[in-house]
């Protein structure tokens, strides 16, 4: 991850003299998310095989398991910004469908959640984070449920803001403004760093922030 003031993929020119704080996306900015989720889901399935084998067999049908999660998101829009609650209730539904004890949803989710925090940082992420946090207050800003304390990088952050806590998710300007408040500066004094052109890019710019787009996959800004 290049430092923001030199990032070649940023769609706007940066006025570094205005920057007094950094807000930083987590998933797919500091580490790749889908390998992380795949490993955590395997840990979950292994736990279910030992404690709720009927559910483990039921979830082995990946299409059916994906359908449960999609249906949960559709039927509970109030949980749209709380990925932990959606995951927990999806596990509970699977347990019920398979005929296992639905109270196992809590410990099963705890197993998944702990594994979800076992991330592998991109090679350039920690050095860049160390440089940034030495110069600016840095606030984690995520729609996901990564926990910077459990990941082991909290010492580099002033604080963390999540969609679950705010009740709104990126690209809504309100979550960016909350993060600016946590950093202790005005939105116009924040540089947001993230990988998603819409959620991070458009969201930050509409919130009045500057942007460094971490474009690892050479996407086209459109």
User: With 60 as the cut, is the pLDDT of residue 4 above it?
Assistant: no
Residue 222 has what pLDDT?
Answer: 67
Residue 1 has what pLDDT?
Answer: 57
Question: Most distant CA pair in the chain: distance in Å?
Answer: 61
Domain 4-31+121-213 sits in CATH 3.10.150.10: no
Distance, in Å, from the CA atom of 44 to the CA atom of 132, rounded to the nearest integer, reads: 35
Residue 159 has what pLDDT?
Answer: 97
CA–centroid distance for 44 within its chain: 19
Q: Which of the four CATH numbers 1.10.3720.10, 3.40.50.300, 1.20.120.1600, 1.10.10.520 does domain 33-116 have?
A: 1.20.120.1600
* Predicted model pTM: 0.89
56-65, 91-100, 143-152: least confidently modelled range: 56-65
Per-domain residue ranges of the chain: 4-31+121-213, 33-116
**Torsional sign, CA 91, 92, 95, 97:** negative
């Amino acid at each position: 991850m290049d430092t923001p003031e030199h990032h070649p993929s940023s769609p706007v020119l940066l006025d570094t003299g205005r920057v007094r704080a950094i807000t930083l996306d987590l998933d797919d900015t500091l580490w790749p998310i889908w390998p992380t989720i795949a490993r955590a889901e395997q840990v979950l399935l292994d736990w279910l095989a030992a404690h709720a084998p009927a559910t483990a067999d039921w979830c082995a049908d990946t299409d059916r398991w994906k359908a449960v999660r999609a249906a949960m998101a559709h039927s509970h829009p109030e949980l749209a910004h709380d990925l932990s609650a959606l995951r927990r209730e999806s596990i509970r539904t699977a347990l019920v469908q398979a005929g296992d004890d639905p109270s196992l949803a809590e410990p099963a989710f705890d197993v998944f959640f702990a594994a979800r925090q076992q991330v592998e940082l991109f090679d350039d992420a920690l050095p860049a984070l160390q440089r940034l946090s030495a110069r600016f207050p840095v606030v984690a800003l995520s729609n996901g449920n990564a926990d910077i304390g459990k990941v082991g990088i909290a010492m580099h952050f002033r604080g963390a803001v999540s969609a679950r806590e705010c009740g709104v998710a990126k690209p809504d300007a309100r979550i960016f403004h909350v993060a600016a408040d946590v950093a202790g500066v005005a939105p116009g004094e924040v540089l947001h760093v993230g990988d998603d052109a819409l959620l991070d890019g458009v969201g930050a710019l509409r919130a009045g922030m500057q942007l460094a787009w971490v474009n690892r996959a050479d996407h086209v800004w459109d």
